[in-house]
Amino acid sequence: MSVEDPIDYRAHPQEYRIGRGEQGVFKVQPYKGELLPHWQFKTPDVAEQSAKTIYGKFLDYGERDEFVGMDMARKYLQMGYTRSQRYARNKGGRKNAKTNELIDDTPYHDPEKARSAEIFMSYLKKAKDDPHYQALKEAHKKRQSK
């Protein structure tokens, strides 16, 4: 894991850079502290509760027009999907920290992890397609380009 960013992004949302994929998911506070404890995908039941809770926080951030929180919640949903997929396809699911290569790339299929991935994807699609999220994202991009 990376060192946390010293910026409080709730107080200074203008400092947030959208980034690619799951970038910043373990750095951006206070959102990391609010979302990470809920991020789990061990079984489909656990994944459902996790995704539902994170999506609920996504909606809560939206009610407060907190684009950074919405984007971070979206990233945790995306990370739930990608990690579940990785563990569904690779028994160990872990990567070498130096090479970023899977430690054990033996072909494998875990239907429970695959179902967890589907659950996260269903919530991720709702988040990405949310009109309020899209509007806040465009407004944030415009502010960044000035």
In the block, tokens 């809920």 appear at: 38
Cα separations (Å) of 62 from 68, 93, 102, 132? 10, 33, 36, 7
In the predicted model, residues of the chain with pLDDT beneath 70 are 1-4, 91-108
pLDDT at 21: 79
Is 82 in a helix, a strand, or coil?
Answer: helix
pLDDT for position 1: 41
Calpha distance 57→35 (Å, rounded):
8
Q: Which token pair is 44?
A: 């489909």
pLDDT at 122: 98
Q: Which residues pair with 41 in a beta bridge?
A: none
- Please give the pLDDT value at position 132: 98
> Is 134 strand, coil or helix?
helix
